[in-house]
Structure 1
Amino acid sequence: MNPNDLASGKGDRDENFPVASFLVKAEHRALVKAFYRFARASDDIADHPTAEPEHKLALLAAMRAGLTGEGAPEAMALRDAMAERGMDLVHAHDLLEAFTRDVTVKRYQTWDELIDYCRVSAMPVGRFVLDVHRESRETWHGNDALCAALQIINHLQDCAKDFRQLGRVYIPLETGLNVEELGADKASAQLRRIIAELARRTRQLLAESAGFSRRIRDRRLCAEVAVIQRLAESLCDRLERRDPLSENVHHGKVEALWLATGAALPALLRRAA
């Protein structure tokens, strides 16, 4: 199977949260998008519904090889772009660890195990963007809380699809989850309680990240993070009230724009003042 056959066709405009939006300075946008293309290609490999695990792992190994030598073109392009900035590739390597787990790990027993997965699957993305903007690493605590929250929100939104298409379950089994219920057309009362409780735990992470955007020096990145924080809070509201197996828990484009504007403008005006 050719690696291109595993591509989902998904792009940065299809993500639940902004990727290198107009709020990010033009001088940084190309590097952020190079990182996104590397991550998207790796994610498509790990999430392909029919490719054999051995084949996926071989392609992910080619991604890792491309970070240091000859390998996947997306990885080599990212390596060259980061070399121009003198940046370390640690965040890209962490992401590949997450995608490898996606192939080899199908269940998480505890909340702590899920957070450890977020440590390599989500936190490196925010840390990379902060490093691109030369922000202080003192911002990493807020970043890590926000990125973990975003990852868990995505897992809850897509819990049925992940199970049906990939046999993968990110809801911790310690919650009392009956895994087979994820294949139903509608969530049971128990599953709804589990999802709502996980959404509330995720809201605690968002409470930790609430002041994160204000600690970012770059005014435009500050606004982008404020937007992401607001979108995540709104999605937690939905997950507490709606059933992701039978109801829409994603934002429409108009709604997302409205929420983003309401978060970005105050952040920009606050910095301007």
Structure 2
Amino acid sequence: MTTLDSATDTRSGKGHRDENFPVASHLIHPRHRGAILAFYDFVRAGDDVADHADLPPERKIALLDGLADALTGAGPADPEAEPLKAELSVRRLPPRHALELLDAFRMDARKNRYADWDELIHYCRYSAMPVGRYVLDVHGEDPARVWGPSDAICAALQVINHIQDCGKDFRDLDRVYLPQDCLDRHGASVAMLGETKAPPPLRAALRELAGRCLVLLDEGAVLPDLIDDTRLALEIAAIHRLAVVLSKGLLERDPLSEKVHHGKAAFALVALRGVAATLARRPFRGRVVRAAMQGAAR
């Protein structure tokens, strides 16, 4: 096993432009993009530690602990943590969301199978939901109003990624996020993830999970109309629309043998439709906000 001195030594070279969904696109106001990209870079450093194929679990945990201590000031400084630490200080935000993501990466270091949907959503609570919450907090949005639908969208985005990458995760990391009970319901096995084309039982399981993503996205569809910052609302509307289209694609296409990703032109067109629909509703969002707050008060 390889022993590496710091999280920097594990970096994969992957950046925010390589993600399946936009990260701090130019829809986001420039005054917020730096804080979001600092968060992304810190999280990417932790994710690269968790996904490093040559590190034993205990070494991964030690490196993740080092990142946490550097961010909170409990340990030595780390170049992977300093930009986010500075942004948090300027904005007087706690490190909570970043630390929760490190908890998810610790889970990845220790765990490679999930029994059921609830167990997977518990993982998403730490691996995905803090991302949306952080972006909303950076923009000063009201957590009581927006965290719930944001959590649903973020969980869906995470599961979509799990479905898209299910073959690669199994082959490269022996990691399976697809719930075992879902595989069992359809007569599928983990070994099928190693095939070049998904057999019918596995395709059925993947379709079930894609359908669950659509349910989550329906729960989160109201989010753009609840957000005060128009540019952020448009960014989330674009991401939401992309996620819906990808989920529907996963109902029909096989991620083991096909790319279920958008090309740049299709990506832009789908995102634009989400933006246009949200802009059209923007003058009437007051009633949506009032309804949401009344529901929360019950």
> What TM-score bracket applies, with the shorter chain setting the length?
over 0.9
Match of 2:154 among 147, 150, 159: 147
* Counterpart amino acid of residue 102 in structure 2: L
* CA offsets 1:80-120 (integer angstroms, 9 cap, x no match): 21011111111011100001001101100010000000000
Match for residue 156 of structure 1? Answer: 163
Q: 2:247 aligns with which of 236, 240, 258?
A: 236
Query: What residue number does 2:272 align with?
Result: 261
2:28 matched residue in structure 1: 24
Q: How far did residue 260 of structure 1 move?
A: 1.0
Equivalent residue for 1:217, pick from 220, 228, 231:
228
SS class of match (1:20): coil
User: Quick check: 1:23–1:223 contact (8 Å CA) kept in 2?
Assistant: yes
User: 2 CA distance for matches of 1:30 and 1:217?
Assistant: 20
Structure 1 stretches lacking a partner, 5+ long = none
- Asked whether the 8 Å contact 1:220–1:268 carries over to 2, the reply is no
For the pair 1:170 / 2:181, whether they are aligned, the reply is: no
How many percent identity over aligned positions? 50
Whether contact under 8 Å (1:227, 1:263) holds in the other structure is yes
Counterpart in the other structure of 1:123: 129
Q: Distance in 1 between matches of 2:240 and 2:195?
A: 31
- Give 1:269 deviation, angstroms: 4.6
Q: Provide the secondary structure at the position in 1 that maps to 2:80.
A: helix
Cα distance per residue 1:233-260 (max 9 Å; x no partner): 0110111001111111111111111111
**1:133 counterpart = 2:133:** no
Tell me whether 1:199 sits opposite 2:205 in the alignment. Answer: no
Question: Shift of residue 140 of structure 1?
Answer: 0.8
Map of 2:294 onto structure 1: none
CA RMSD of aligned residues (A): 1.3
Partner in structure 1 of residue 101 of structure 2:
95
Deviation for aligned residue 1:76: 2.8
2:245 counterpart letter in structure 1: S
SS of corresponding position for 2:81: helix
Aligned residue number for residue 289 of structure 2: none
The amino acid that maps onto 1:171 is L
**1:248 and 2:256 are equivalent in the alignment:** no
Contact 2:8 2:80 in 1 (8 A): no
Query: Does 1:34 pair with 2:38?
Result: yes
Query: Under a length normalisation based on structure 2, what TM-score does the superposition of the two structures give?
Result: 0.89
How far apart are the structure 2 equivalents of 1:272 and 1:24?
A: 20
Number of residue pairs the alignment of both structures matches:
273
- Corresponding residue of 1:180: 191
Deviation at 1:272, TM superposition (A): 6.4
The CA distance in 1 between the partners of 2:276 and 2:54, in whole Å, is: 44
Cα distance in 2, alignment partners of residues 174 and 71 from structure 1: 43
Asked which structure has the greater CA Rg, the reply is 2
